[in-house]
Amino acid sequence: MPVALIVGRRVMAISRKKRILGLVLLLVLECVAIPALYFNSTRYKVERLLGQVGPPSWPIAMLIKFNVVKSSEHLPYRMVIDELVKLGSPAVPALGDALADSSVDISVRLTAAEVLGMIGDKRALSTLLNCMKDGDVNVRIVVIDIIGRLHDRQATQPLIDCLHDSDEVIRFFSIEALGAIKDPRAFEPSLASTRDKDGRVRSGAVESLANLGDKRALPRVLEMLTDTDSDVRRAAVNALGELGGPENVESLMTCTKDSDRDVVTRAWIELGRVGDTRAFNPLVVLLLAPEREQVGYKRGEVISAIGNIDHPDATAFLKRLRDDKNEDENVRQAAQKALAAPKVKN
């Protein structure tokens, strides 16, 4: 006989005060003990979650219960997520159904979407595309983010349509997804989004143009170097490095005098990438700065930029990094890789 039923019968036979205590115990058993026993069998748990065993409503009810606490310490919840991801494609239909059902608790729908993203099966795309018009903005945001990670060009036009949404967060995630998909059809819409009133959308649009790699964007990217938003200027500097070359060196040099430190840092890194020798000393300073000051960049990309520079001291500096036993192993490997890289001749 189920533990919960036994406790329930006993509760009815005792005093009101003890009945309350018993009900609390029953609740604890329902929320903790019974689920723990249920999840003891990994295979049974997954089958139940997919509705293959027992009532189909069980998996939704259990996810609702476990979604109350979403920390990594909440073992049953994490077990559900981990098992679904391990199961992979067979879990997609049930997850898609949970995501598409607007009557289901929102936390369950968002969890279903996140797991679909972690599985990465493109068979979920049709469900995801339909949910781009969902009535809940949080569902739309998560779905658009996942669609970008699937890199499927079927999503290009629906994402372009979302660039006209009244919600700036939707527009931002849409332009980010378009940049990830890299469909040439996104060029003109991305160019238009560089004039969006929201700085995050403008920044995402510049990043999208950089990912597309179309040099027709260069004139607009150069204009964005003077944007009022420092994040947009930083994205423009990065795009200039991606799309341009030595011909944009002086524009990048101008950016090294920007009022924002992160823009300046990015400008020196991009100058190093195109092999400008003036970037050598500033990049060394960045690399040797105290860890607390290493904000907005990774040491590996600084080392890579130094490796591109045909500077008389660059090789010796990189060798010292490579041979320094006290240095981080990733840094030493990056230095070795930079030493093998060809220098950019200017």
CATH at 84: 1.25.10
Q: What pLDDT sits at residue 233?
A: 97
Cα 164 to Cα 160, 171, 269, distances in angstroms: 8, 7, 34
Domain boundary among 130, 150, 170: 150
Question: Which residue segment(s) compose the domain that 10 sits in?
Answer: 1-38
> The pTM is what?
0.74
Q: Check pLDDT > 90 for residue 145.
A: yes
56 with 33, same domain?
no
* Domain annotation covers residue 169: no
Query: Tell me: the pLDDT tens digits for 282-309?
Result: 999 998 888 777 777 888 999 999 999 9
Average pLDDT over residues 173-186: 97
- In this structure, the answer to whether residues 27 and 111 fall within a common structural domain is no
- Number of compact structural domains in the chain: 3
**pLDDT > 60? residue 119:** yes
**4 pLDDT higher than 50:** no
Residue 172 scores a pLDDT above 70:
yes
Q: Among 150, 172, 195, which residue terminates a domain?
A: 150
When pLDDT is cut at 50, 70 and 90, the band that residue 41 belongs to is very low
The answer to whether residue 274 sits within a structural domain is: yes
- Asked if residue 176 is part of any domain, the answer here is no
Q: How confident is the model at residue 55 (pLDDT cuts 50, 70, 90)?
A: very low
Give the per-residue pLDDT at 247. Answer: 81
Comparing 62 with 278, which gets the higher pLDDT? 278
198: in domain: no
- Token pair of 27 as six digits: 């609740």
**Distance between CA atoms of 79 and 24, rounded to whole angstroms?**
25
| Residue 22 belongs to a domain | yes
Does the pLDDT of residue 3 top 70, yes or no?
no
Same domain for 34 and 86, yes or no, is no
Please report whether residue 114 resides in a domain: yes
One domain for residues 292 and 307: yes
Say if residue 50 is in the same domain as residue 61: yes
Tell me, letter by letter, the H, E, C secondary structure of the chain: CCHHHHHHHHHCCCCHHHHHHHHHHHHHHHHHHHHHHHCCCHHHHHHHHCCCCCCCHHHHHHHHHHCCCCCCCCHHHHHHHHHHHHHCHHHHHHHHHHHHCCCCCHHHHHHHHHHHHHHCCHHHHHHHHHHCCCCCHHHHHHHHHHHHHHCCHHHHHHHHHHCCCCCHHHHHHHHHHHHHHCCHHHHHHHHHHCCCCCHHHHHHHHHHHHHHCCHHHHHHHHHHCCCCCHHHHHHHHHHHHHHCCHHHHHHHHHHCCCCCHHHHHHHHHHHHHCCCHHHHHHHHHHHHCCHHHCCCCCHHHHHHHHHCECCCCHHHHHHHHHHCCCCCHHHHHHHHHHHHCCCECC
Indicate whether 310 belongs to any domain.
Answer: yes
